[in-house]
Amino acid sequence: MKLIDAHIHLSDAEYTGHLDELIADAKNAGVTALVTNSMDLKTCINDIKLAEQYPNLVYPALGIHPWNVNVLKENELQETIDFIQKQRGITKAIGEIVLDYKYETIWEKQTLVFDKMLRLAETLELPVIIHSRGTTDKIVEMLPSYNLKHVLLHWFSHPMSALTKALDNGYFITEGPPVIYSNGIREVIDKTPITNLLTETDGPVTYWKQPFSGQLTKPSYIRNVVEAVAEIKKMHAEEVAEQIIKNFEAFFKIKIN
C-alpha cells in the first residue's frame, strides 16, 4: 500500500539525529511522499536541503508560520520571500501558514505575514497549506479574494459550517492520527468526500492517545490513519490509499512512481 504524509515538519529540532531512521521506517511502511512544512527562514533553507537529500520522497512547502512572527529577525520576512522565489520549481506549496486567535496579541503581525504568504502563493502559482485555530470561518470567507490554485486546510476540526463552504470551494482537508480517537475529526472525515482528503502526521506533534503515546511521531502512522478512514468511509484501506495518492498528485502536481 502506497502512503502519503502530506504534512510534517522534518526540520523540527525534535527530529534532529533521527531522520535517517525515520525515513527508513517511512519507506518500509510504504510512505512514498512526505511534504515537509517550514516555519521560518532557517527551516525553509533546511527543508530545501532535505528535498535534495531525499529526492522523489521529501517535498518542501515553504513559508512563515505566524507563531514565529514575534521572533522574526529584521528583514526576515522579505528575505524569506526572496528565498522562496529563488526556489521556484523545487517548492511544491506555501506552508505552513496560519491565523490563530490563541495568539491574539500579535494579530496585526500575523495578518500581515499571512497576507504576504498568500500573495506569494498567487505569484508563484503554488497551493497553500493553512492551519486555522478559532479563525476557520474568517479564513474560508477571505480566501476567495485571493487567486489561489489549491487550498489545503490542515487538521480541520470545526466548525462544520466552514467545512461545507470549504468543500464547496474545492478545498482539500488533511487529517492525521486523531481520526482514530476523536469523534469530531471522525465527523469531518465522514462529511468530506474521499476525493478531497489527504493524510498527515504533523510530526513531531506528539499524540498522547494509544497506539501512539510516548513515541516520536513517525510517518509510518499513516497506515493506521488510512485504516481508520477506510472504516469510517466503509471502503477498503487499499482503495482509500489509492485515492489519496490521486488526490496528492492533483493537489501538489507531483507524480508518484
Q: How far is the CB of 242 from Zn ion (least distance, A)?
A: 25
Q: Could you give the strand order of the β-sheet that contains 3-8, starting from the edge strand earlier in sequence?
A: 3-8, 31-37, 58-62, 93-100, 128-133, 151-154, 172-175, 197-199
Q: How far is the CB of 205 from Zn ion (least distance, A)?
A: 7
State yes or no: residue 96 binds Zn ion (CB under 5 A): yes
Interface with Zn ion (CB under 5 A), residue from 38, 202, 217, 240: 202
Interface stretch with Zn ion, choices 66-74, 78-86, 135-143, 200-208 (CB under 5 A): 200-208
Joined together, the cell numbers standing for residue 52 give: 535534495
Closer by beta carbon to Zn ion, 100 or else 202: 202
Cα 155 to Cα 56: distance, rounded to the nearest angstrom: 25
Interface stretch with Zn ion, choices 43-51, 181-189, 197-205, 223-231 (CB under 5 A): 197-205
State yes or no: residue 200 binds Zn ion (CB under 5 A): no
Q: Are 246 and 6 in contact (CB under 8 A)?
A: no
Closer by beta carbon to Zn ion, 63 or else 233: 63
Interface stretch with Zn ion, choices 76-84, 95-103, 215-223, 226-234 (CB under 5 A): 95-103
Joined together, the cell numbers standing for residue 210 give: 494509544
Q: What share of the chain is helix, strand, coil (3-state, %, to 5)?
A: 50, 15, 30
Q: How far is the CB of 249 from Zn ion (least distance, A)?
A: 22
Closer by beta carbon to Zn ion, 136 or else 233: 136
**Binding footprint of Zn ion, residue count (CB under 5 A):** 2
Cα 118 to Cα 234: distance, rounded to the nearest angstrom: 36
Q: Which DSSP helix (H) or strand (E) runs through 128?
A: strand 128-133
Closer by beta carbon to Zn ion, 32 or else 132: 132
State yes or no: residue 47 binds Zn ion (CB under 5 A): no
Q: How far is the CB of 165 from Zn ion (least distance, A)?
A: 22
Cα 254 to Cα 110: distance, rounded to the nearest angstrom: 30
| Strand 128-133 versus strand 151-154 pairing type | parallel
The binding site for Zn ion (CB under 5 A) comprises: 96, 202
